[in-house]
Structure 1
């Protein structure tokens, strides 16, 4: 198709051949093959000039438009790869999305006017390919090696409570005291909930906890803890400001605490490709700067 259009535009096989950096014989063979495929003569050839047949005029009109659209598509995709523009589809867990991602996205969009973001928040796992997600924000130990994962933050779990709760309930000396307290828990399954503690000597202790609230919605745990309903096991980044202000108190600072795994983090994941778009790279770099702990924080 491209060879035929160039022949018509340049008026001869030899001129088209020079423009395409090939031989006139090769151009002639490709035109003949195209005519054989279409089952129609496209060019009338004489020793002095080429003219289009009726079929050739129709084919040239459509082929020229198609090649122009192809060039535009190629240019647009190339621009997307090198210039930050277009739509980013982003998914995140609810709590990290609410506390960090929404403010980060707002700041990002204020400085990158040619980018749009389609944000989805849920506590369900997503398939980036199947659901056409550009960037997924995940928490916890990662197992999917087919994706590129860039760590945004270390995610340590901590036990915390409001001062009002601690003042009105029996003192807490060690992890085993939690069995006598209202522990607000995150729903991992329908069975019992255990918090695992790792002391400075490397010994682990599992404590079965229970309380008046169990939920799979992180913001509800944080709000209930702030209100003084009970204790909760929260990611440190989700309550860092609450602790700094004195609205919450961290318990057991010498221990590491978790549900299942001590290895945790907040990650930005995207598909592995040699052609990662500029907008994905720019957005993930922005998130890394946003999540990076500030001096004195």
Structure 2
């Protein structure tokens, strides 16, 4: 007896409610379906179906077996599809959304390299700092910053990320001394627009103690590069992802403040994540693109 075939036939019988309907679905005869189900019952030593002239019903053993049988067929389908995807040349359009700053610095260069290596794939790229619904907007991969709260999605962390408070040497030279986070109230803090109301920067010392410091200044924006540009121009202090100002700090055009503290807006998980839908089949183009980004950030 072909066990997997018998399991498939049994599941089809249950789904369609009769031997004849399952036979039509499978392209075989009702007699053949009946023999397969009987052979399965004999091999198990248990009756799975109650047969009457009008309908079929599951026995208690049949209900338990049906649940596991569906799972077995699902896993076989998953395994087959994953191998098929590996062998099939990826093609088609990949819709990607990214936060603006990480998109400009990393994703756009990564896309150019990816498309050269994968000529059968096209990418439709959107850059914004808005939250997007992957299903509603048909997004394949979303590049986000911070931990994922939606359990229906899968998040692959591309890199760890801290935020740093920084300012230009010119601003620091002409402004009051800054020794601790509480001193920020006397300074022009360039802020990222998260929501309406007062803005706070959160600091955590080496012992895990957090302090929220209210800040304000002459510039507020939802466009990260504007904060970097304004900080470089000497306008004030900015709270930025470390990867976005690393070269500026190494060159000395920006100075990092409070290196003994972790800094953030709300949460301290500011990692960069590739987020995609949790589906039965992860397409080859999504897998290849996420793997490409992972390798890029590892090298960076």
Assess same fold via TM > 0.5.
yes
How do 1:1-297 residues align onto structure 2 when only pairs under 5 Å count?
Answer: 82-292=88-298, 294=300
Give the C-alpha shift of residue 80 in structure 1.
Answer: 9.4
Q: Cα distance 1:278–1:81, how it changes in 2: closer, same or farther (>3 A)? A: farther
| Distance across 2 between alignment mates of 1:292 and 1:245 | 23
Q: Is the 8 A contact 1:152 1:268 kept in 2?
A: yes
Give the C-alpha shift of residue 222 in structure 1.
Answer: 1.1
Q: Is the 8 A contact 2:93 2:123 kept in 1?
A: yes
Q: Cα distance 1:252–1:100, how it changes in 2: closer, same or farther (>3 A)? A: same
Gaps of 5+ in 2: 1-25, 33-83
Q: Give structure 1 regions of 4+ aligned residues with deviation exceeding 6 angstroms.
A: 78-81
Scaled by the length of structure 2, the TM-score of the pair is 0.70
Q: Is the 8 A contact 1:152 1:287 kept in 2?
A: yes
Q: Cα distance 1:81–1:266, how it changes in 2: closer, same or farther (>3 A)? A: farther
Q: Report the secondary structure of 1:292's partner residue.
A: helix
Gaps of 5+ in 1: 1-19, 27-77
Q: Is the 8 A contact 2:85 2:283 kept in 1?
A: no
| Distance across 1 between alignment mates of 2:87 and 2:122 | 15
Structure showing greater radius of gyration is: 1
For residues 210-236 of structure 1, the C-alpha deviation after alignment (integer angstroms, 9 at most, x for no partner) is 111001111111111111111011111
Q: Cα distance 1:87–1:222, how it changes in 2: closer, same or farther (>3 A)? A: same
Q: Is the 8 A contact 1:157 1:234 kept in 2?
A: yes
For residues 129-167 of structure 1, the C-alpha deviation after alignment (integer angstroms, 9 at most, x for no partner) is 111111011111210111111001112111011122112
| Distance across 2 between alignment mates of 1:102 and 1:177 | 38
Q: Is the 8 A contact 2:192 2:224 kept in 1?
A: yes
Q: Partner of 1:14 in structure 2?
A: none
Scaled by the length of structure 1, the TM-score of the pair is 0.70
| Distance across 2 between alignment mates of 1:80 and 1:125 | 32
Residue-pair matches, total: 223
Q: Partner of 2:22 in structure 1?
A: none
Q: Is the 8 A contact 2:166 2:257 kept in 1?
A: yes
| Distance across 1 between alignment mates of 2:142 and 2:243 | 18
Q: Is the 8 A contact 1:95 1:218 kept in 2?
A: yes
